Amino acid sequence: MKTKIIVPIMPKNKTELVALLKQATESQADWIEFRADFYQEVTSLEWATVVSKKPIIFTYRTLSQGGNGTLPTNELFTVLKKAIEVFPIVDIELTFQEDLLKELLDLAKDNGTQTILSLHDFEQTPSEEEILASFVKMENLGSDIAKIAVFPQAEEDVLRMISASQNYHKRPTAKPIISISMGDFGKITRLATYLTHSIATFASITTSSAQGQIPLLLTKEVLLALEGEG
């Protein structure tokens, strides 16, 4: 199976983090997303000592991008710098202050940490030109993976997201992408990832972190049927 399955965990404290990491590590997921925007004492950096046999993606999703995070820019910068030191993959929002964003990307490169540049729209699906432009911007900034998640209001919005992802993938310099249409309309993009050329999809173990996420075991079953074992 080619597509990686990512399961998000949303712990509020160190005890929950350890317990949820254990559950996710023992699951059939490939990667684990640690949603640090739900962590109550995230600036204490106490989370930096956790380990897992599976790759952990550190994500602090801000309120403006559909998350729970309200840290001031300078504090978030400190948190992300620490995350880059200890985790193999770190999600950084494309909307982050540009000079600090570039500094984080350089730090990640020096540290051998993979970066996901991400952009979310929980209200609509932008035009195909806007989606393509965002993917290209992420590529030009030097992200390892480019992620865009949008919210469709109708079936044609899903088709537009698929088309934009396919056209971006045709670029000789295209980066690996994660392309998602959220909600019920967009569920097909979470399963038929070959349509968008996404390298990974998100699935839930217990609590989902976004509308339209499908349970892990069902996601695995469908992906196996579509992609096979190889």
Active site residues: 120, 147
How far is 61 from 68, CA to CA, in rounded Å? 6
156 among annotated binding-site residues: no
40 among annotated binding-site residues: no
33 among annotated binding-site residues: yes
209 among annotated binding-site residues: yes
160 among annotated binding-site residues: no
Q: Which residues are annotated as a binding site for 3-dehydroquinate?
A: 33-35, 61, 190, 209, 213
Q: Which residues are annotated as a binding site?
A: 33-35, 61, 190, 209, 213
